[in-house]
């Protein structure tokens, strides 16, 4: 199992959290996903022999959010699911 913390931009409400957790959680090989809304992070535990990290990132991006490789500040961007 591998564990990664992804910096996800564009989330600002509970619906955003649900969208990311649901879409990533349904992937074959993902054991768990927990989004920390205030920090803009998603903790993902997955079986790297079943799914790779790039596939997980693509699913998050297809859900309407961006992955930021080096998050060093929050920018207060608008919610991408309801605004």
Q: What is the pTM of this model?
A: 0.80
- Which of 22, 7, 2, 14 shows the shortest CA–CA distance to 65? 7
Average per-residue pLDDT for the chain: 87
**Residue 2 CB neighbours (<10 A):** 14
Q: What does the block give as tokens for 64? A: 């309407």
Residue 60 has pLDDT above 70, yes or no: yes
Residue 46 has pLDDT above 50, yes or no: yes
- Specify the pLDDT at position 6: 95
Tell me the pLDDT tens digit for each residue of 8-28: 999 999 999 999 999 999 999
| Domains of the chain listed by start with CATH number | 2-67 (3.30.70.100)
Residue 77 has pLDDT above 80, yes or no: no
């Amino acid at each position: 199992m591998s564990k990664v913390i992804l910096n996800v931009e564009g989330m600002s409400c509970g619906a955003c959290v649900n969208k990311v957790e649901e879409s990533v959680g349904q992937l074959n090989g993902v054991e768990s996903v927990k989004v920390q809304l205030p920090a803009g992070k998603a903790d993902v535990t997955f079986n790297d022999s079943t799914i790779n990290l790039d596939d997980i990132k693509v699913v998050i991006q297809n859900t309407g959010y961006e992955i930021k490789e080096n998050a060093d500040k929050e920018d207060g961007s608008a919610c991408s699911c309801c605004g």
